[in-house]
Chains A and B, each alone.
Chain A
Amino acid sequence: MLGAVPEVAASWQFLLVAGHFWRNDYDVCAPVFPRTAVLIPAWNEAAVIGASIDRLMSLEYPRDALRVYLVDDASTDETPQVAAAKEVQYPGSVIHLRREKGGQGKAHTLNHGLAIILRDDWMEALLITDADVIFQADSLRKMTRHLADPRVGAVTAYIKEGSRPGNYMTRFIGYEYITAQAAARRGQNVLGATACLAGGAQLHTRANLLALGGRIDTTSLAEDTFTTFQTQLNGRRVVFEPHAIVWAEEPGSIIGLWKQRLRWARGNVQVTKRYRTLWFRPHRGHRLGSVTFGVFWFCLFLQPIFMIVSSISLVTLYFANYAGAWHAFHILWITNAVTYFFITTFALLIDPPIARHTWRQGMMFPGVVNLGIVLYTCVPRLFRDLAHEAFAATHFSPDHALLAGGILFIYAWPAASMPAAYLAKVAEPHRFGRFLSPLVVYVVGYGSLLCACTFASYVKELRGAEMKWDKTEKTGKMVVPT
């Protein structure tokens, strides 16, 4: 039954989305335009940085209240030239800063810019973004309207995947972002506790930054999450604004996704350890210690463990109590089926424009095998009748060993799907991988691929592997609605 816990928690989080209409921050919003410094860390971003700055300069925001600070982290491509050209094009509005010694990671690059920005009193709010992120014209003012509430320390926006035409992987990510951002963060707004400010779109008040010590944490791979937690622990609120939309280019390959998600997942392990005294301990000043938030956090963080435990339990039960195992299997997969239907259908309705582009990947998110098991659990009689007809037509009669093998396979599948997903990553660089890897992802499921990545993060952290900042490669292939 433990295996069903993450599914129930996910459904609960989506139910909270429905409550966002009555529990939100819109009643305390006001049209405020604080002097905002935009901080962009950049390393070899020549392909994308020019367009990003142009977009920032065209925001529906008073020009005299907006400055862009580009921190070039010792780029070796044409980033310095592009940045210098933009500095000339927007005099006084674009400031090019350069670190001669780079490669220490995003947090160090941000801190270089932050130290300079905080030297004078001009900045009232700071927008941290990435070099490839494209802001919709109204996005910044939709974020700053929340700063009218003095309790708010930081605001984040809804990041959408913008690669067009994109490929199967960017479409999976596009759908995933509906669930992980548009839905989950609305739910966290309702709950009053936010897990993470999006790294590409986080707006801080000056007071919040000063309370954070005027710098970003450099000791982990999840500096965004540390900042988010620390903001709330300092008694300030973090708000997600779902109608402030920004676009980002996400990895188009399994290897690219693996690098990015391994970094995020390792960061989550570090956060979980760092705040070990916080979990499940309700506190007056913040909601991070609430039981609900703890359940949401650990259901995601321990998802691979839940999958492994449920498989081991079912297989063990198969030998100890055959009928009990079958009963437990049905309860687990009926829960999965209900969750799948609710979350997939609702997620696609939350953001119809993205859903039109990604609905196939949304439907295939659990993978063909899991969907087969879900269908079997929902309509077992139909499956059995079809199987009987097929066996009769082919004069094939499955023996006991074959049936037992099939049952054990579906019991073991939740755990087995993770190494199977890992094979897709292993195969990708090879010649046949171009066709095989997407096929494997569709068969085992994108969710299993993410779980495999989370599991790999446990291993890396247990081994004390070096914290390496593997930058996600950006190519400027985004097409943004105007």
Chain B
Amino acid sequence: MGQDREDGENGGPDVTIEAVKARPVAVFRQEINDAVRYEKGLFIKALVVLAVLAILLILRAMYFA
């Protein structure tokens, strides 16, 4: 129980403590895969942003310069 005698209410940081055990290796692998997938997603997002930027620059050069 936290200092405010509440238990994570309203998203507050106070929580009840539970015994923690080491996670199985499968969970670890899954987390690594998730992390790598997220990083690949950032690569795709960067490409999309750059593509949009290129289109905007072309439009600017053609119509707004």
Q: Is B46 an interface residue (CB 8 A)?
A: yes
Kindly supply a per-residue 1/0 record for chain B positions 29-52, scoring 1 wherever the CB is within 8 Å of any chain A CB and 0 otherwise.
001101110111011011101101
Given contacts A58-B17, A482-B11, contact A31 B22 (CB under 8 A): yes
Evaluate contact between A342 and B39: CB separation under 8 angstroms: no
Evaluate contact between B14 and A51: CB separation under 8 angstroms: yes
Contact of B35 among A52, A243, A350 (CB under 8 A): A243
Evaluate contact between A58 and B3: CB separation under 8 angstroms: no
- Interface of B, helix, strand, loop or mixed by DSSP: helix
Evaluate contact between B17 and A24: CB separation under 8 angstroms: no
Interface centre among A54, A243, A341, A476 (most CB of B within 10 A): A54
Q: In the complex, which residues of chain B have a beta carbon less than 8 angstroms from the beta carbon of A90?
A: 17
Q: How far is the CB of A287 from chain B (nearest CB, A)?
A: 20
Evaluate contact between B42 and A63: CB separation under 8 angstroms: no
Contact of B65 among A29, A61, A164, A381 (CB under 8 A): A381
Query: Which residues between 39 and 63 of chain A lie within 8 Å of chain B, taking CB atoms?
Result: 50-52, 54-55, 57-63
The number of chain A residues touching the other chain, given as a range, is 35 or more
Q: How far is the CB of B39 from chain A (nearest CB, A)?
A: 4
Kindly supply a per-residue 1/0 record for chain A positions 135-159, scoring 1 wherever the CB is within 8 Å of any chain B CB and 0 otherwise.
0001001100100000000000000
Given contacts A338-B57, A380-B65, contact A31 B28 (CB under 8 A): yes
Evaluate contact between B31 and A142: CB separation under 8 angstroms: yes
Given contacts A31-B28, A51-B2, A378-B64, contact A21 B17 (CB under 8 A): no
Evaluate contact between A31 and B25: CB separation under 8 angstroms: yes
Kindly supply a per-residue 1/0 record for chain A positions 220-250, scoring 1 wherever the CB is within 8 Å of any chain B CB and 0 otherwise.
0000000000000000000000110001000
Query: Which residues between 324 and 376 of chain A lie within 8 Å of chain B, taking CB atoms?
Result: 338, 341-342, 345-346, 349-350
In the A-B complex, list the 5 residue pairs whose CB atoms are closest, starting with the nearest.
A50-B3, A18-B46, A21-B39, A51-B13, A31-B28
Given A20-B42, A21-B36, A58-B16, 4 further pairs, Cβ under 8 A: A14-B46, A52-B13, A60-B23, A63-B19
